Amino acid sequence: MKDFDYLAEKAIYLDAACQSLRPKPVVEALKRYYYEHNSCGERAKYPWGEKTDELVAETRKKVLKLLKLKSKDYFVSFTLNTTYGINLLLNEIKPELIKKVVTSEIEHNSPFLATMALSENLGVPRVVLEREADGSLKTEGEDFAGAVVVVNVAANFDGRRMQNAREVVKKVHRDGGIIILDAAQAMAHTGEMIEKTEADAVCFSAHKMYGPSLGMIVARRDLVPKLQLRFLGGGMVDDVFQDRYELSAMSNREHVHTIFEPGLQAWGEICALGVAVDWLEGRSRTEKKLLADCARELDEFLRGSAKAKMVGQEVNSTMSFYIEGVDSHLVGAALGKAGIMARTGYFCVHYYLDKIMKYPPLIRFSLSYATRESDIVRVKAELKKILY
């Protein structure tokens, strides 16, 4: 694809689940910010600042539109990444509202460890729910009253999705709990599965959806009264006295996002994210089909070998496997020498992949719109040397 034509023929990038390659228009948007309107957003009244403000406001709107959510109910705050967003939320929900913390067995360490810390800090129980093989969350018999639930919408090792996301959100709310969705792996290729989902907050990373390095919290406006802010700084207040301050978020609905944005933000990245969202929404049927076809071909090839053991049950653009009797890290190094960039290990999902499933370290291929048919031919040829 022309937007990735900077990629050398011999460079095969299969690590999009960590961070996507950035399409040229996104890099151009970053350059425009640094070369043409480098300025602090939402503060500077000179023309460069006004340009930044305009683009930042557009990005907030585009992110909400991507999730088909309305600004009367939701707002978008920018953070460092998904991990930061989840930790910030868990640390700022009023402790008296939290009777237990709930997560699931297939989580990335990002929510998995953050929920452990919350449980330890507040002295409340932590529940680790199981997931069905298809990714659905098992909620039978669980009462979510006073619970803060943090679960992923799609897993980072095989893309399995929380098929019952909408029902889970409804149940948690019916019981009187708070639910935060980790959509880090959902937004690039399957964002539609959580459109209009009424979670209290959704956290994700722009760098996993063809955008710059940046995170987001999309939060419900009615979550704000349930927060006790612990992380404060510049850009958040209308006025300050010796021992008291007045938050802009409270005086102006348009400023509510500032509660999660203390200090100077990554304004250039925020501007470029707006371009990434447009770019993502502009992918054609042919481009989507090419990605699906590449994933299917690689999946079929791996399942066709008696030695390759796949983790997932379904075809997905993110797939993990191991080769019986062969150290995955050595496979990764051999692939690397051939220009194939794949990840090996447990991809920050130690608990599920190692402790529950007892897999050896794995190899992960995560494909993207930058994947070419010729890449798959080369990957298969390299793997054949090991598998046959």
Ligand X SMILES: Cc1ncc(COP(=O)(O)O)c(C=O)c1O
**Vertex 8 angle, CA 373 and 6, to 5°:** 100
Place of tokens 């309107």: 37
Q: Exactly one of 83, 265, 344, 368 binds ligand X (CB under 6 A); which one?
A: 83
- Contact string (CB under 6 A) for ligand X, positions 128-167, x = contact: ------------------------x---x-----------
Is residue 205 part of the contact set for ligand X (CB under 6 A)? yes
Site membership for ligand X, residue 22 (CB under 6 A) = no
Nearer to ligand X, 20 or 205 (CB): 205
63/387 with CB nearer ligand X: 63
Phi first, then psi, for residue 214 (nearest 5°) are -170, 150
Instruction: Determine whether 270 is exposed, middle or buried from the number of CB atoms within 10 Å of its CB (0-12, 13-18, 19+).
Output: buried
User: What angle separates helix 267-281 from helix 24-36, to the nearest 10 degrees?
Assistant: 150
- Rule CB under 6 A: choose which of 52, 185, 265, 366 binds ligand X: 185
**Paired tokens of 324:** 């019986």
Residue 215 Cβ vs ligand X, minimum distance, rounded to whole Å: 6
The number of residues that bind ligand X (CB under 6 A) is: 12
- Tell me how far, at minimum, the Cβ of 74 lies from ligand X, in Å: 20
- Is residue 301 a contact partner of residue 315, using CB atoms and an 8 Å limit? no
Least CB distance to ligand X at residue 8 (A): 25
Give me the 87-126 binding string for ligand X, x by CB under 6 A, dash otherwise. ---------------------x-x----------------
> By CB under 6 A, which span of 81-89, 93-101, 258-266, 362-370 interacts with ligand X?
81-89
User: What is d(CA 8, CA 4) in angstroms, rounded to the nearest whole number?
Assistant: 9
Q: Is 383 within 8 Å of 299 (Cβ atoms)?
A: no
Query: Please, what is the minimum distance in Å from the beta carbon of residue 154 to ligand X?
Result: 7
- By CB under 6 A, tell whether 344 contacts ligand X: no
Query: Where does this chain touch ligand X (CB under 6 A) — which range of 26-34, 58-66, 76-84, 137-145?
Result: 76-84
Cα-flanking dihedrals φ and ψ of residue 161, to 5°?
A: -110, 155
CA dist list (Å): 166 to 102, 219, 294, 339: 17, 16, 30, 41
Report which of 247, 243, 206 is spatially closest to residue 85, judged by C-alpha positions: 206
Minimum CB distance to ligand X smaller for 59 or for 185: 185
Beta strands 318-323 and 340-341, pairing class = unpaired
Contact 368, 291 (CB under 8 A): yes
Q: Which of 42, 182, 261, 269 binds ligand X (CB under 6 A)?
A: 182
Answer for which of 89, 178, 184, 291 binds ligand X (CB under 6 A) is: 184
CA dist., res. 339 & res. 25, Å (int):
25
**Applying CB under 6 A, which residues contact ligand X?**
18, 81-83, 108, 110, 152, 156, 182, 184-185, 205
